[in-house]
Structure formats: structure tokens, C-alpha cells
Amino acid sequence: MAESDFSSVTMPPHAWADIDLKAVQHNFLLAKSHLTSPLCRACAVVKSNAYGHGVQPVVAALDQVMDANDQFAVVSWQEASVVKEVVPHRRVLVMRGPVSADEMSAILAGGMDWVIHSRYQLDLLLDCIAADPSGVKSALVKSEARLWIKINTGMNRLGMPIKDAREVLAALSELPFILPLGLMSHLATADDLGDTLTETQFLAFQQAETELVLPEYTLKTMAASAGILSWPQLHMDMVRPGIMLYGATPMMGRVGPDEGLRPVMNLKSRLVAINHVRAGDSIGYGATYVAEHDMRVGVIGLGYGDGYPRHAPNGTRTLVATEQGVITAPLAGRVSMDMLTVDLSHDQSAKPGDEVLLWGQAWGHDLPANEIADAAGTIPYELFCRLTQRVPRRYIRS
């Protein structure tokens, strides 16, 4: 058969993700509605391919509902250049900052905002300026790029001590041009309302503000999604919503819909087989699941090779759209690479070809990614980011 014969065959994929771009817009506006000041900007975090949702369509959808001062953030300059292509008029923040001279030049040339979290990154900038003073100056003046100094307030991951921030500020004040500045820090436990570290970090940030001689125009930011939802005193001049844009909540013990968020990624598949299993027989790899009674077992056409968590335990819910209505089908047996098995004993209507929801929302029913992540001992961030290439994304714009 010629190759063209294959490409003309359109078969429904066994698994796909409906990506609801209206829901992304809704979630962004919901994040903004929490803000304590109308001057507070929102910096939409679209790193890691917009948490697995597909960065270009997500960025284009967000751009439509953003205010003039709202912007984007990613981790690397490679990610930033993809975003800049879609929205050249928006600021894009490179949160890891440059780790080499080449990256510093690429960030300056790309007109991106960037983070300096370590003392050595100051030298990367100064070296670039020394090599081409007028070129760097004109690039920075043209882009109005903002440099965010990241300080450590207790997360102990990225962020410099106050002493280093003081040295960086002193060096920047000697440049022959004014670089717009920001002061940032990141919260370690804002998802847990009972943890006192958030308060400690806030106090450390305020302490830094008083100890550092910051230019008046310096913007400040601490809050990501958890900070936006639960710590209004930390909103400051800018917030950095990530996970909430995608409809899941970072808050412990809650699910996205509790916050008024709408799921964006609705992961679907189909029943590909229905089997009858006798009491005492086992199902799947390792024969770990043994039927206590005669069972009707549905086989769903997706597994960990598509990004479904292998550690999801027996009982984790899936929803099946049958002729008679939507039913809950709990996992029974280990998740394998291309398939998972569910208990359909209490249902007679499901048949091969029926659609299944693994997480998200469909047919008026919610199956929050937070619930599946909790069951599998992980977080929705990881579920979203781990969706594999094999799963086509279908963008829904209205």
C-alpha cells in the first residue's frame, strides 16, 4: 500500500485530550478577580509547554483577555523565544535566568525580562556589556526589559542572600543606563494554610525591602497560584499564576472546581474491549488484582505510555459515557503502557467504542485532575506535564 493510502485513513485515536481554551481564559480572569489591587499585574506561567497543554494556543488565548501590563513567564530562553513569536508585544520573563554568556546574549537580543538569582549571573551581564556597550544598551532601551532580582526567603532553591542582592544593586546602579528592576521570591508551602513558613518568608521579604536600597520603580512579586488563592497580603505588584490557569488547585485537600476553576485538559479514551472474568481469576500484570466475584471488565485504550499515572491504585475513578448515561468505572488491576482495566460489573450498557473520561470534565460531569493526582500520590502539575506525544491535543475555542 502506498504511503498516501495510509494518510487518507482517518481513525479516531484511542486517546486524546480536549483542551478547552475558553476555560484557560476563564481561569486567568478568575485569578485576576482575586487580586487585592487593580494595579497588580498578572504574569501567566506557561513553562513546560504550558504545563503540557500546548504553549502556542494557550498563549494566544490568554493574550486575548490580558490587560496591557500582563505578561508571560517561562523557565528558559528557548521557551521564551517560542512565546515571543506568538506575542511579540508582551513581556516574557525567563525565570531561570542565563546560565552562560550565550544565554545572556540570547535573552538580551530577544528582548526578554530575566531573573538573576545568583551572583555569577551579574558577571554574565557585565561581560556582555563590556563586549558591546552600545549594542547592549540599545537592545535594553528598545525592549525596556526588566531584570528581576530573586532573593531567598526560605525556599532554599533559587534565590540569593540579601548580601549578594546588595552587591548586585550597587553594580547595577553604576551602569550608564537605567534598567527597570523587580524583586522576587518564591513560596515553599503556600499550598498549606497551616504552615508557618509562608509568614516567615513574607517577613524575610519585607526585611529585604527595608535593608536593600531599591529604586522607587522596583516591582515586587512573591505569589504563584497558591498565593493568589490564599494569601492576599502577598499579591504585591505582580502575581505568577501557573497551575490555576489550567483548572487545578495547588491547595491541599481541595479540587479545582472548589475554587471556581474550570478544567482545561479533558483526557479521553475509549473502551476497546469488554471481558468476563470468573471469581478467583486475576487481571493484568503481576496478577495483583484477583476477582472476588464474577466480573465484567472494561479495557480502556490508554495507559502510562500516554501519561496516565502507573501508580493510580485500584478504585481510582474513570467515567464512561454509555448509551444509558454516564457511569463511574473504578480501576481494577495494574495500569499498563497502552491500556487500563476497569470494573463494569454494576453496568450492563457499556460497550466497546464508548468514550471514557480519565480526568477533566465531560458530559456535564467533573473528574478533577486533583482527585486522580491525589489517588496516584502525585500532583496535577505532574499529570499534565507528563501527557505524552502520543496523545493528540484537540483545541476547543468556543
Q: Is 154 in the site for ligand PLP (CB under 6 A)?
A: no
Residue with Cβ nearer ligand PLP (41 or 240): 240
- Is residue 54 at the binding interface for ligand PLP, with CB under 6 A as the rule? no
Which one of residues 92, 243, 312, 387 is an interface residue with ligand PLP (CB under 6 A)?
243
DSSP string, 6-40: HHT-----SEEEEEEHHHHHHHHHHHHHT-S-TT-
Size of the site for ligand PLP (CB under 6 A): 12
User: Between 89 and 157, whose beta carbon lies closer to ligand PLP?
Assistant: 157
Site for ligand PLP contains 151 (CB under 6 A)? no
- Sole residue written with cell 499534565: 384
Q: What are the CA-CA distances from residue 356 to residues 14, 220, 325, 327, 384 (Å)?
A: 10, 45, 12, 10, 18
User: Which has the closest alpha carbon to 79: 60, 101, 95?
Assistant: 95
Near ligand PLP by CB under 6 A: residue from 19, 80, 224, 238: 224
Annotated active-site residue in 22, 137, 268, 285 = 285
Residue 248 or 299 with smaller CB distance to ligand PLP:
248
Active site residue 285: yes
Determine, following the binding rule CB under 6 A, whether residue 240 of this chain makes contact with ligand PLP.
yes
For residue 19, give the amino acid letter. Answer: I
Least separation in angstroms between CB 330 and ligand PLP: 29
Q: Does 45 bind ligand PLP (CB under 6 A)?
A: yes
184 annotated ligand binder = no
Q: CB 15 → ligand PLP: shortest distance, Å? A: 25
Of the pair 46, 291, the CB lying nearest ligand PLP is at 46
Say if residue 1 carries a ligand binding annotation. no
Give the per-residue contact string, 93-112, with ligand PLP (x = CB under 6 A; - = no).
--x-----------------
Asked if residue 250 binds ligand PLP (CB under 6 A), the reply is: yes
Q: How far apart are the first and last CA of the chain?
A: 39
Is 208 within 8 Å of 162 (Cβ atoms)? yes
| Chain-centre distance for alpha carbon 120 | 28
User: Helix or strand or coil: residue 112?
Assistant: coil
Length of the chain counted residue by residue: 398
Distances (CA, A) of 99 to 60, 82, 170: 29, 19, 21
- 182 belongs to the binding site for ligand PLP (CB under 6 A): no
HSE (side-chain half, CA atoms, 13 Å) at 378:
18
Shortest distance, CB of residue 226 to ligand PLP, whole angstroms? 6
Q: Does 265 bind ligand PLP (CB under 6 A)?
A: no
Instruction: Please report whether residue 225 would count as binding ligand PLP according to CB under 6 A.
Output: yes
Do residues 187 and 226 make contact, with C-beta atoms less than 8 angstroms apart?
Answer: yes
Where residue 23 falls (left for φ over 0; alpha for ψ -120 to 50; beta otherwise) is: alpha
Q: Name the catalytic one among 47, 84, 150, 220.
A: 47
**Which of 41/47 has CB closer to ligand PLP?**
47
Coil, strand or helix: which one is 282?
strand
Q: Which amino acid is at 106?
A: A
Work out the number of other CB atoms within 10 angstroms of the CB of residue 181.
19
Binding site residues for substrate, as ranges?
Answer: 157, 337
Which residues are annotated as catalytic?
Answer: 47, 285
Contact residues: ligand PLP, CB under 6 A: 45, 47, 95, 186, 224-226, 240-243, 250
Binding site residues, as ranges?
Answer: 157, 337
